[in-house]
Amino acid sequence: MLQRTSARLLWLGGSGSVPALGGDLRPQTGKYVNVIPEGTQPLGGSATSGVRRATVAHADAHNYYSTALNHDNLMEFAAPEARQLYAPPRGGGTGARRGMKKWSRHLSADLYDELLKLPLRYALHDFVTLQRHASGLLQPPPADGALPPGVFTMHSPPSTEAAGDAYHYMVAGTPGLSAVGYAPPLGPADAHDVIPFFIHRTSSGKLPGKIYSMHAKNLMPNFVLKIYNVEGNLFRMEEELMKIFPTKKMFVRAHGIFIYNVGVDARQVLHHWMLGLGF
């Protein structure tokens, strides 16, 4: 798509993972209905309040809103340290923008409930176990004489110290959980059942599955989900995916599985299923 701006012809590209944001150099006045420039809006109520009219979710009946209560506005352009201080605990909390992003995993209960209703062949973990595991709350209590979680024994003492005593080091952060939200795989929900395929994570703990626009040049909102890093019996995995995406066409190839004509939420559904399996 070529959009003519006041300066030049601007190319608006995009794909499934990087959406195209329009580069409008001119104001939006008159382009859509009821778009009023912010500078010409009248002051709300008394002129001393200095609060301009706005239509936001936190506004009251008189269109007043205070940015002190809108933490998203406060933290949108804040320093990373302030954003980290404000960030709620994983797995819930007020103010958190839910959704599975690149480095954070917020599990959706209603989506997982729909997966549990399906007649899937391989058992899934319950949702509470997944939430506690993603929050690092499934660490077993240390046994008598065992080191506390996050403390490890050095294989060799420092060169400046004498040998003979045990030296320890501690890893900062939540034990069993890295700073980017990576928790080690849970393992299968049914220990006596064998899952005939295996799903590999990347070195940063990300699960496979990316969405690509079926025609990125036209900004087509239909996507193809490509699942790599899977080994084993891919056809048994395809049978499970056919129950999850019953109306989509799939192709099993030697290196992965392609699912066509999906929406942008297909990766979130896929990752909920993979986490439920224990991968």
Give me the percent of the chain exceeding a pLDDT of 70. 51
pLDDT digits (tens, 9 = 90+) for 152-204: 777 766 666 666 667 777 665 555 565 555 677 899 999 999 999 999 998 87
Q: How high is the pLDDT of residue 167? A: 76
Q: How high is the pLDDT of residue 101? A: 58
Q: How high is the pLDDT of residue 198? A: 97
Residue 260 belongs to some domain of the structure: yes
Residue 193 belongs to some domain of the structure: yes
| DSSP-assigned beta bridge partners for residue 259 | 225, 250
For residue 117, pLDDT over 80 is answered with yes
Residue 207 belongs to some domain of the structure: yes
Domain CATH number, residue 120: 3.30.780.10
Token couple for 210:
């990316």
Alpha carbon distances (Å) from 1 to 8, 17, 173, 264: 13, 18, 46, 21
For residue 57, pLDDT over 50 is answered with no
Q: What's the domain range around 223?
A: 109-125+183-277
pLDDT digits (tens, 9 = 90+) for 225-240: 999 999 999 999 999 9
Q: In terms of Cα–Cα distance, which of 274, 273, 102 is closest to 199?
A: 274
Q: How many CB atoms lie within 10 A of CB 257?
A: 22
For residue 242, pLDDT over 70 is answered with yes
- Mean pLDDT, the chain, rounded, equals 72
pLDDT band at 55 (very low <50, low <70, confident <90, very high): very low
For residue 253, pLDDT over 90 is answered with yes
Exposed e or buried b for every residue in 209-244, given b needs 16+ CB within 10 A? bebebeeeeeeeeebbbbbeebeeebeebbebbeeb
Q: How high is the pLDDT of residue 112? A: 92
For residue 43, pLDDT over 60 is answered with no
Split into its structural domains, the chain has a count of 1
Residue 217 belongs to some domain of the structure: yes
Check residues 174 and 56 and name the one with the higher pLDDT.
174
pTM higher than the cut 0.75? no
State how far the Cα of 245 lies from the Cα of 259, in Å rounded to an integer: 8
CA 33 to chain CA centroid, Å, is 34
> At 2, is the secondary structure helix, strand, or coil?
strand
pLDDT band at 40 (very low <50, low <70, confident <90, very high): very low
DSSP secondary structure letters along 151-213:
EEE-SS--TTS-TTS--EEE--SSTT--TT--------SSTTS--SEEE---TTSPPS-EEEE
The amino acid at 127: F
17, 211 in Cβ contact below 8 A?
yes
Residue 237 belongs to some domain of the structure: yes
Comparing 52-56, 118-122, 160-164, the range with the smallest average pLDDT is 52-56
State how far the Cα of 51 lies from the Cα of 43, in Å rounded to an integer: 6
Residue 255 belongs to some domain of the structure: yes
pLDDT digits (tens, 9 = 90+) for 155-167: 766 666 666 667 7
Exposed e or buried b for every residue in 97-117, given b needs 16+ CB within 10 A? eeebeeeebbbbeebbeebee
pLDDT band at 6 (very low <50, low <70, confident <90, very high): low
Residue 263 belongs to some domain of the structure: yes
Residue 256 belongs to some domain of the structure: yes
Supply φ then ψ for residue 131, to 5 degrees: -65, -45
pLDDT band at 97 (very low <50, low <70, confident <90, very high): very low
pLDDT band at 139 (very low <50, low <70, confident <90, very high): low
> At 111, is the secondary structure helix, strand, or coil?
helix
Q: Which residues contact 252 (CB under 8 A, 6 or more apart)?
A: 234, 235, 238
pLDDT band at 123 (very low <50, low <70, confident <90, very high): very high
**Tokens 């005939």, residue?**
196
For residue 37, pLDDT over 80 is answered with no
6, 27 in Cβ contact below 8 A?
no
Of the chain, the end-to-end C-alpha distance in Å amounts to: 40
